[in-house]
A and B are shown apart, each in its own frame.
With several copies, the nearest count.
Chain A
Amino acid sequence: MRYTPHTEADRRQMLDAIGLSAIEEVFAHVPEELRARARIRLAEGLSEVQVKKRLSALAARNATPGEWSFFLGAGIYHHFIPSTVDAIISRGEFATSYTPYQPEVSQGTLQAIYEFQTLWCQLTGMEVANAGLYDGASAAAEAVLMARRVQQGRRRIVLSRALHPQYRSVISTYLKNLPGVELIEAGFDETGASDAEALARAVDDRTICVVVGYPNFFGVIEDLAPVQELCSRHGSLLIAVTTEALSLGLLKPPGEWGADIAAGEGQSLGVPMSLGGPGYGFFACRKKFLRSMPGRVVGETVDSEGRRGFVLTLSTREQHIRREKATSNICTNQNLCGLASTVFMATLGKSGLRRLAEINAAVAHETCARLVREAGLTRLFAGPFFNEFVLRVDDLEQRLSRLRADKIIAGLPLARWYPELRDSLLVCVTEMNEREEIEQLVKSLTRR
């Protein structure tokens, strides 16, 4: 049988040792009615060759950036992944190990997580970071939950409407069954940033936190100074949520803006798009919230001979110890994706990460400028952006389908998520979009 190694003789010998004559006797106590109906009606097993063939056929029916030009971002980004990443994460020692509960034989994973935490502290400018969460959206939700825990007695949560719509959905899903919470959205202004007045109206002294995208869903780099000022005036926490982690290679980090929590999606840094998962959520915050943090944390310590070593720590926050009083229900996270990011960041390094971020900003700005200048399109928002921007395109759907015939996906129409933004297209340009692709995009959007 596939993957079960026993021969008939092995089975026989083992059954003899147990004192049984058939394997069915082992589960004879399972009620007969259940056993009788338990047969699985699926096809027979396949050989490796057949499995590969089936999966290749399915894969072939999906469009990839190899043949298509994609200008899609909106939470998942197509970036360069150095070959070091897969070489490391496909090593069995990393890929087939469990959560490092026995530190003596898990120093590889533990130290890698410790490095990951450090990298995220450095990148976000925050004091502490955890070992990662499921994705950016649930990380944002966990940030709000943590804010609620440390801001007892308050009830209002203010979300910028310029925060990724799926993130807002997930936050709302996570919160909707919890008592005493009020979720409020504040709109955006003509720069595409969160509307300062709307925020000011929404935030009061009972406000737990304000959640802002950085950059936000429209690609706009928000100036967090006024928001931070507003928050501190009301004793609310500022949560900066980043979907495009690469931007942190260039932008002033949330910590420097005075954010209390920085959370978001790490996929940009070394993880393939993979239809949006697996990636991972990053989560960093002020040290004073340490014991309220969700998720796993690795700490440095020494062994009985005084050597440096690493362990899972502060686990009294976690479900396996604290059960219903845990700071989160998370157990399995997205560790291997975090490792991919760690290797990615180590490979690019200080200068490489910045240069890659600069290239993104440069090509996106250049493309945007050309689309405005040559194709005569207009930017919907005036705010500064990183590698995504919103254009107004008349007859959007029609033009998109014409572009699709040329194998170009020019961006994401926003009306689906923002009914008020008809004929608006969110365009993302990264270092992976080749010169010819951009040429082609400009050309196709120019000719009418």
Chain B
Amino acid sequence: MIFERGSPGRTSFFWPERREAPAEIPSRLLRREIPGFPEVGELEVMRHYTTLSQRNYAIERQFYPLGSCTMKYNPRLNEAVARLPGFAQLHPLAPAELIQGALELMHELESMLAEISGMDAVTLQPAAGAQGELTGLMIIRAYLSQKGNPRKKVIVPDTAHGTNPASSTLCGYDVLQIGSNERGMIEPGELERLMTEEAAALMITNPNTLGIFDENIQKIATVVHAKGGLVYLDGANMNALMGIAKPGDMGVDVLHINLHKTFSTPHGGGGPGAGPVAVKETLAEFLPVPRVVKTETGFSLDEDLPLSVGRVRSFFGNFGILVRAYAYIISLGADGLEDVSRTALLNANYLRKRLEGHFHLAYSEPCMHECVFTDRLQQKYGVHTLDIAKRLLDYGFHPPTVYFPLVVAGALMIEPTETETRETLDAFAEAMIAIAREAKENPELVKNAPYTTPVRRLDEARAARRPVLRWEEPRRDGDERQEGKA
């Protein structure tokens, strides 16, 4: 712990000039020193965080088949270009003529995303998928309000990601859940029953979180539209669709895209990402401000959109992430992007094939970019999904997403992505198969895993019961400051 290192008075800050706080600031407004704040040297900083980093799993270390997360390779090239001073050192309030390159990049990225998704207009402002959802729902609400009635509900499938219902609530809608049928899809009949004039939108994920492409998507859109509602697509799974099907052709009115998934910006241990929202022409006037517009002489910013939902974030969103996604798209080009989805599908289907028989497959439908297994075959030995996940760690692999989607008991949701080799998929499959064997022959081994990780199973119940959320200075100061503590 950084607070347990160092020595009082130590710092890595070196600034020859010494300045006092100006007397004009009344001392009443000033703080005393910050108790417990770090006091370490520069080498200590480097060592501490380098050491911490080595206690992490990462794509650059090994396979990371987290379903719904699209953990593909994040090209180092994109990291390099995002760090160009002409991007990294821009002030967002600089006059538009001084940031023409940035505006052009954003403008072009908007068109590229529109082309890829088959939509008409895009905002890059949302900071992540969930904020994209909120923005998209707000657009729907604004549109319906303008038509006279914002309506009350949003229909959300039971397979949806948790952000979908949460965003609906935040947008002032009640959530109406719709179940999936035995093929993992929405039953058009059931939808017809639920889709009333109370419902503002259907929020659908396609392929959904089961990795299944809903073949009825066009029919579904027709049902929604017939009742005056709109179709929102959670585009987190765009990695399955490029060059295969465009949401814009499916009858989708609004969607968000996770640049930190399909467009390969690094996850960073939980962000930053970006969640652009794409809409059909009729909804364009509701997009957040400012909009980047092309003029005769270049690009400018339009704040003056009376129907806009307003701002969802300060400035322009996560611009640095947009730069990376832009670099990714122009690197791959049309062919490359199409190859991404095809290969993602190939990898998922290959892995599915290899694991079939060893694990129970939740649905027998063909899968797209991910597939969902369960622990049903292992339960009889007392081995559960969590145990399988932990045991995988001992094999050097990150487990799939577990216990999601919620509709599948004991789900193991595997998304290999297109950047993995056949050899890696084979090695992962072999580890899974070995665990299936262990579950049968030596269940205790699996149930007590992991054994080889920096720490073993952590007491999560205790963490939640008696939350300790920050480091506190120990009573007897100084004693704890020792080398060797991580």
Contacts and interface: CB of A to CB of B under 8 A. Distances in A.
A contacts B: CB pair < 8 Å: yes
Nearest to B339: A1
Interface stretch (B36-44, B373-381, B430-438): B36-44
Contact of B271 (A5, A335, A347, A348): A335
- At the interface, is chain B mostly helix, strand, loop or mixed? loop
B84 A329 contact: no
A349 B10 contact: yes
A294 to B, nearest CB: 10
A200 interface: no
Interface stretch (A121-129, A150-158, A439-447): A121-129
Interface stretch (B63-71, B190-198, B224-232, B277-285): B63-71
B133 interface: yes
Interface stretch (A30-38, A184-192, A205-213, A229-237): A30-38
B244 to A, nearest CB: 5
A99 interface: yes
Contact of B393 (A100, A104, A167, A347): A104
Contact of B464 (A251, A274, A314, A339): A314
Interface string A83-105: 11011111111111111111111
Interface in B4-53: 6-22, 24-26, 28-31, 33-46, 48-50, 52-53
Contacts of A321: 162
B255 to A, nearest CB: 14
A277 B315 contact: yes
Residue from A65, A98, A280 with most neighbouring chain B CB atoms (10 Å): A98
A330 B18 CA distance: 42
Contact of B320 (A47, A179, A278, A333): A278
Contact of B455 (A103, A115, A359): A103
A288 interface: no
Given A176-B310, A307-B455, A323-B162, A93 B61 contact: yes
A119 B134 CA distance: 30
Specify which of A8, A249, A336, A363 lies most central, judged by the most chain B CB atoms within 10 Å of its CB. Answer: A336
B459 A302 contact: yes
Given A65-B91, A136-B314, A277-B319, 14 more contacts: A34-B246, A38-B245, A42-B112, A45-B333, A62-B99, A107-B56, A253-B31, A274-B320, A290-B467, A302-B458, A336-B271, A346-B2, A347-B13, A349-B6
Contacts of A299: 463-464, 467-469
A161 to B, nearest CB: 17
9 contacts: A17-B354, A29-B213, A40-B115, A93-B56, A97-B57, A275-B99, A313-B464, A352-B11, A353-B37
A31 B88 contact: no
B92 to A, nearest CB: 3
Interface string A328-358: 1111111111010011011111111111111
A125 B30 CA distance: 13
Nearest to A278: B272
B1 interface: yes
B3 A118 contact: yes
A52 B80 contact: yes
Contacts of A55: 81, 84, 87, 323, 326-327
A428 to B, nearest CB: 10
A398 interface: no
Contacts of A204: none
Contacts of B74: 95-96
A250 B6 CA distance: 22
Contact of A134 (B264, B313, B327): B313
A7 B98 contact: no
B26 A384 contact: yes
Contacts of B336: 1-3, 45
A298 interface: yes
Given A2-B331, A97-B59, A349-B37, A105 B453 contact: yes
Contacts of A365: 22, 24
Interface in A191-243: 221, 223
Contacts of A406: none
B56 A345 contact: no
Contact of B460 (A117, A129, A313): A313
Contacts of A385: 25
Contacts of A333: 128, 270-272
Interface hub of B72, B101, B338 (most chain A Cβ within 10 A): B101
Contacts of A221: 25, 29
Interface in A1-45: 1-11, 13-15, 17-20, 23-24, 26-27, 29-31, 33-35, 37-45
A362 interface: yes
Interface in A266-321: 272-278, 280, 290, 296-305, 307, 309-311, 313-316, 318-321
Contact of A94 (B53, B89, B91, B467): B53
Contacts of B306: none
B79 interface: yes
Given A35-B244, A102-B398, A300-B468, A83 B333 contact: no
A109 interface: yes
A409 interface: yes
Given A34-B245, A38-B246, A102-B57, A128 B9 contact: no
Contact of A352 (B12, B112, B354): B12
Given A57-B101, A305-B456, A324-B169, A134 B128 contact: yes
B130 interface: yes
Which among B59, B250, B455 has the highest number of chain A CB atoms within 10 Å? B455
Interface string B309-323: 111111111111101
B167 interface: yes
B100 A343 contact: no
B270 A173 contact: no
Contact of A174 (B3, B85, B170): B170
B305 interface: no
A17, A96, A319, A356 pick with most chain B CB within 10 angstroms = A96
B293 interface: no
A118 B16 contact: no
A4 B80 contact: no
B57 A58 contact: no
A399 interface: no
A83 B79 contact: yes
- What 8 pairs between A and B have smallest CB-CB spacing? A352-B13, A59-B86, A276-B315, A336-B268, A5-B41, A92-B60, A276-B92, A45-B333
A377 interface: no
B476 interface: no
B470 A129 contact: yes
